[in-house]
Structure 1
Amino acid sequence: MERRDFLTPDPNSPVLTLGKTVINIDTEESYGALFLLVKEESLSDFFVPAIRMRPNLIIF
């Protein structure tokens, strides 16, 4: 997680950034890049209840 002042509406909110090149699978021509920004708060809201219900849960 990191904080940044670009590509995010709130520079004080930590985010996880995932990026992937998008290509045409037939011609291998590159269409561009896709970036997914996930707020740390959203990840915590998703995983914390699951971990509380199953303390031995392993998440990769």
Structure 2
Amino acid sequence: MLKFIKGPMESIEGVAIYPMISLLIFFFFFAGLFWWVFTAKKDYINEVSNLPLDLNENEN
């Protein structure tokens, strides 16, 4: 199975940059997500976490 993927990919010039780009996108996304989580205000987190409970109370 790997030879069907590896063979054509080796013939493409500059294909080695795509794994690096995907790794950088992955890293920056999760680094930004961790930064947002640690800098988010506690009031906002509590308000958003209680939204499902507030919606159920308003329906009754």
Q: Which structure is richer in relative contact order (CA contacts within 8 A, separation 6 or more)?
A: 1
The two structures share one fold, judged by TM-score above 0.5: no
Alignment TM-score, normalising by the size of structure 2: 0.29
Larger radius of gyration: 2
Q: What TM-score results when the alignment is normalised by the length of structure 1?
A: 0.29
Q: Specify which structure has the higher proportion of helix.
A: 2
Structure with bigger strand share is: 1
